[in-house]
């Protein structure tokens, strides 16, 4: 199991190969963001609602403002320390972006690009191998199954693998590959037998949920006792996000909660899951090193309280040992009631 095998920073030529697809996606996302904002950059009337902390329900009025972007106010809860967007797009606006829009089309085009797809398939094999090290193979549900990389890897490893995906074009792509995927937004009506799972995968899903605890409570109904939940979320404490702030593309509509290692573990414990494995992967070190050395050193000291003598000597292993990679990845087990 080598998480560096799917790190784009270690793949010469990868960024250049994906530049056209990435540019198209960012442009489509920018247009989607702008369509919901007024001239002052605030959400149009009726487009969003204001919430309190989704973890502990502490009032948003008592939280600290970290940054503003795209009409969102990112706050740090004074009680549980979770970073979250006070402002959330109403579900009818949000759902349309994932089902049929220029942004969803551009995202699908990126996912099926051969360069991107190959790296995602390598990551999927890594994820399934990590899961296999924890639990005997059985039934698996992938929520947000996209173009099916995880379904393919799980099926190849001997799992009975099912997927739920909101984008109908991505579901059609999976079905053309002979994968068991349905179009829907979990929790939705599942086919007969799609329950009592030994494992559930949620990669880049938890950050999208306006009420993650309610979602996880519902999810446990489809999991057997002792089942495993595999989670990937953007790491708000990553080196790159710390340096870029509101300029980073993870600060966007649809990302309503911003997790760090401690707050992800806390959220999962509150939902009845015990953490057994947690790491960061995907370093984005090439993007980090494109910045001036002084900015890299300042961010490193801010996050680790240690001086970085030579930013250009920083390695991928250094980044992950400090838990500063771009993604948090964890395996959590459902605690017996």
Of the pLDDT bands very low, low, confident and very high (cuts 50, 70, 90), residue 24 is: confident
The CATH number given to whatever domain includes residue 305 is 3.40.50.150
Amino acid 308: pLDDT = 95
Please list the residues that pair with 148 across neighbouring strands.
Answer: none
Q: Which helix (H) or strand (E) holds 9?
A: none
pLDDT in tens, 67-97: 999 999 999 999 999 999 999 999 877 766 6
Q: Is the distance from CB of 21 to CB of 116 less than 8 angstroms?
A: yes
Cα end-to-end distance, the chain, whole Å: 33
Of the pLDDT bands very low, low, confident and very high (cuts 50, 70, 90), residue 202 is: very high
Q: Is the distance from CB of 213 to CB of 271 less than 8 angstroms?
A: yes
pLDDT in tens, 259-301: 999 999 999 999 999 999 999 999 999 999 999 999 999 999 9
Of the pLDDT bands very low, low, confident and very high (cuts 50, 70, 90), residue 239 is: very high
Range(s) of the domain holding residue 50: 3-334
Amino acid 97: pLDDT = 63
Q: How many domains does the chain fold into?
A: 1
The residue with greater pLDDT, 5 or 26, is 5
Distance CA 296, CA 30 (A): 27
């Amino acid at each position: 199991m080598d998480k560096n095998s799917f790190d784009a920073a270690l793949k010469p030529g990868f960024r250049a190969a994906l530049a056209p697809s990435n540019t198209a996606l960012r442009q489509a996302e920018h247009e989607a963001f702008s369509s919901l904002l007024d001239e002052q950059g605030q959400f149009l009337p009726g487009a969003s609602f204001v919430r309190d902390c989704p973890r502990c329900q502490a009032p948003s009025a008592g939280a600290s403002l970290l940054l503003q972007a795209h009409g969102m106010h990112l706050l740090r809860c004074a009680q549980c320390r979770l970073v979250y967007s006070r402002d959330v797009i109403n579900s009818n606006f949000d759902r349309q972006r994932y089902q049929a829009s220029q942004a969803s089309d551009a995202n699908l085009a990126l996912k099926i690009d051969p360069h991107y797809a190959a790296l995602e398939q390598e990551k999927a094999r890594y994820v399934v191998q990590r899961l296999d090290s924890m639990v005997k193979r059985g039934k698996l549900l992938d929520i947000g199954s996209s173009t099916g990389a995880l379904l393919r890897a799980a099926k190849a490893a001997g799992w009975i693998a099912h997927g739920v995906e909101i984008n109908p074009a991505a579901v059609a792509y999976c079905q053309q590959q002979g994968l068991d995927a349905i179009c829907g937004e979990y929790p939705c009506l599942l086919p007969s037998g799609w329950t009592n799972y030994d494992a559930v995968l949620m990669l880049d899903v938890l950050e999208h949920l306006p009420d993650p605890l309610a979602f996880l409570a519902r999810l446990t109904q489809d999991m057997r006792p002792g089942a495993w939940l595999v989670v990937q979320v953007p790491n708000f404490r990553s080196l790159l996000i710390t340096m870029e702030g509101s300029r980073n593309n993870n600060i966007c509509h649809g990302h309503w909660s911003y997790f760090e290692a401690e707050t992800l573990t806390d959220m999962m414990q509150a939902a009845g899951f015990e953490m057994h494995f947690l790491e960061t992967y995907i370093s984005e070190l090439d993007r980090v090193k494109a910045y001036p050395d002084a900015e890299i050193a300042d961010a490193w000291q801010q996050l680790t309280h240690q001086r970085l003598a030579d930013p250009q000597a920083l390695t991928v292993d250094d980044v992950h040992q400090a838990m500063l990679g771009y993604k948090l990845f964890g395996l959590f087990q459902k605690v017996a009631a």
